[in-house]
Amino acid sequence: KVFGDLAFAHLSFAKLVSGFIINHLGYDFLSQDLDVVWYKDPMNLFLDKNHGELKDFDMIFMDDGNHNFNPLRTNTGFYFVRYNEKTRFLLTDVVLYGGGEMVLLSGVDQITMFNIVHEHHARHGLQVKILDW
């Protein structure tokens, strides 16, 4: 089908639901698009509690490249979620409280995650890191 159509929206929401389930089971997780290729396993970097640059972030996103838009340029093509109460609350909002409707209306998960991450960053202290290019 085509990007952003109803079938795409359903798959995008299913991607969010799978992350919600993994998080609610108490696990950290990495979500990525199928076109992302690893040259090196990134999980060691994200899970290393001694790595000063990343250890204190609740969520780590790939930069979406739109540098004129917002400092939190979240891209759901590649993001890591650390299990904690802040991410559990965020993903509950994403899946159970309006996020599904946003995905169906916009056709993609990117806009939904962008809006809810920004809200949780501002209102609830969610710590977000955008990876450098």
Report whether pLDDT(16) > 80: yes
Structure confidence at residue 80 (pLDDT): 95
Q: CA nearest 127: which of 75, 69, 68, 82?
A: 82
Structure confidence at residue 21 (pLDDT): 97
Structure confidence at residue 67 (pLDDT): 65
Give the residue-averaged pLDDT of 33-42: 88
CA dist list (Å): 72 to 38, 39, 63: 23, 25, 8
Which of 33-37, 64-68, 118-122 has the lowest average pLDDT? 64-68
Structure confidence at residue 8 (pLDDT): 86
Spatial separation of the C-alpha atoms in residues 19 and 31, rounded to whole Å: 8
Whole-prediction pTM value? 0.88
Report whether pLDDT(62) > 70: yes
Q: Given pLDDT bands bounded at 50, 70 and 90, which one contains residue 85?
A: very high
Structure confidence at residue 51 (pLDDT): 65
